Amino acid sequence: MTKQSKIYIAGHKGMVGSAIWRCLEAKGYTNLIGKSSKALDLRQQSEVYRFFDDEKIEVVIDAAARVGGILANNTYPYQFLMENMQIQNNLIDGALSHGVEKFIFLGSSCIYPKHAPQPLKEEALLTAPLEPTNEWYAIAKISGVKACEAIRKQYHKDYVSMMPTNLYGSHDNFDLKTSHVLPAMIRKFHEAKLNDHSTVQLWGTGTPMREFLYVDDLAKAVVFALENQLPEHLYNVGTGKDITIKELAETIQRIVGHQGAIVWDSTKPDGTPRKLMDVSKLNALGWHYQTELEEGIQKTYQWFLQHQDNFKEVKI
């Protein structure tokens, strides 16, 4: 692979895809391909195959997915299961059938069992039941991981899956109906600050522990996988450090400048008690995260302030 290799980034306008695009451009890659969902519907196999026929892609980075938090997963289970399988199956099989030698599949830490030993090791996959609040998305992503593993085993191609922990950063989704916890808190605290520092109500008890990775650090991990032939099919990507949701809320509250009260609604679900990633495998190969949580939240809040009039809204 060279800096001129034709690299297709599926989902290039999303938070993850745009970060990968920026990272590749910064490193001098000049032949990046991206298609909007209007130009290429990844759920339609015929469109995806025609795209591979026309473009002669050499590398695929799959950062395309229907994503959302507990509320969205609970409300739209069929879409989270079916559309994610359609997207990844079309990309994986399209790449295989068109001779693509390098494929990087991006998933999520939610693929691991709800009560898997902490920190989560890659070997925990499929050893126990999933967290019910996001099992639909998780099952779709697990099928993608296993498809890439099968291709490595049967066809000996460099197809690798990377499972990031909870991501945040610029181009995040701040729609309160579908967003993840960190961007949702940024928006809630910001709007409460503007509303005379009114009370902020948050879901759950605040006791679950979560790990957060700045999206630009994930992008660097993807480029690391792109530029190296990794020996295994599945790698966790994270910081290896976590905090409680309560600590996260207080950190965001301080950065945003909100001075009102926080009320926890314990009638709402907490989700998985803890999701800390064991990132020792990728660390041992030479990749390490760089952005500490407070710095990353500050950068994300600044991006939100600059784009709050037109931030990303997800339409179901």
Which residues contribute to the annotated binding site for substrate? 188, 203, 210, 270
Beta carbons within 8 Å of 288's beta carbon, 6+ residues apart: none
Both tokens of 306, joined, read 């600059």
Is 137 labeled as catalytic in the residue annotation?
A: yes
Instruction: From the candidates 8, 112, 137, 214, give the one annotated as an active-site residue.
Output: 137
Query: Which residues define the annotated binding site for NADP(+)?
Result: 11-17, 106-109, 141, 164-167, 180
Query: Which residues define the annotated binding site?
Result: 11-17, 106-109, 141, 164-167, 180, 188, 203, 210, 270
- Look-up of token digits 């808190």: 185
Beta carbons within 8 Å of 58's beta carbon, 6+ residues apart: 1, 5, 6, 7, 100, 101, 102
Cα-based angle 134, 66, 248 (whole degrees, multiple of 5) = 60
- Sort residue 87 into left (φ over 0), alpha (ψ -120 to 50) or beta: alpha
Bridge partners (DSSP) of residue 89 are: none
* Amino acid, single-letter form, for residue 303: W
> 217, 291 in Cβ contact below 8 A?
yes
Q: Which residues are catalytic?
A: 137
